[in-house]
Amino acid sequence: MGVRVALHLKGVVDYDFLQERLGEKSQLLLESNPVYKKIPVLIHNHNPVCESMIIVEYADEEARAEAMEQSLAGLELLEESLAKLSKGRGFVGGDAMAYLDIALGCYLGWMKACETVIGHRFLDEEKTPLLVGWAERFCSHEAVKDWMPETDELLELAKVLQPKRKVSTAN
């Protein structure tokens, strides 16, 4: 049951559930878990993952990897959009900061906080050089630099907000 609940919480709802009869061991089970010959076994991409807690951990890692892939794909799309909109100039709409720069720039502090927590840089010189340059210009702009929140402050705020978020999503 625990594995099914964990998969549901991670948004994994499209899978085949095979019920084993108590006391009987199917050929698939014996092949998938030849050492312990016990359930549960998750077979993902033809690779068996055995034991409840290991499956839950695996599902969590897979969900994180998928979220990271989606985030990086979104940033690549944003990089392409910045190239088209800025036409080689410093900000989204040209040489001066405008509304869209402000709207996007407001996420930079939280992005840096997330980078600290997960240990991965979202804006990368190789993959998103235009965004890296834009972020540096935005954060060092006279109108922004005194107002950009420090990463440590955002991490402290996240510690306060996260338990509240968990409670609200559970209801």
Domains of the chain: 2-50 (3.40.30.10), 70-170 (1.20.1050.10)
Cα distances from 115 to residues 23, 64, 121, 133, 155, in angstroms, run: 48, 14, 5, 17, 11
Q: What are phi and psi of 48, to 5 degrees?
A: -80, 140
Per-residue pLDDT tens over the stretch 52-106: 999 999 988 988 899 999 999 999 999 999 999 999 999 998 999 999 999 999 9
pLDDT at position 103 is 96
Compute the distance between CA of residue 64 and CA of residue 94 in angstroms, rounded to an integer: 36
In the chain, pLDDT over 70 holds for what percent of residues? 95
Share the mean pLDDT of the chain: 91
Compute the distance between CA of residue 35 and CA of residue 52 in angstroms, rounded to an integer: 15
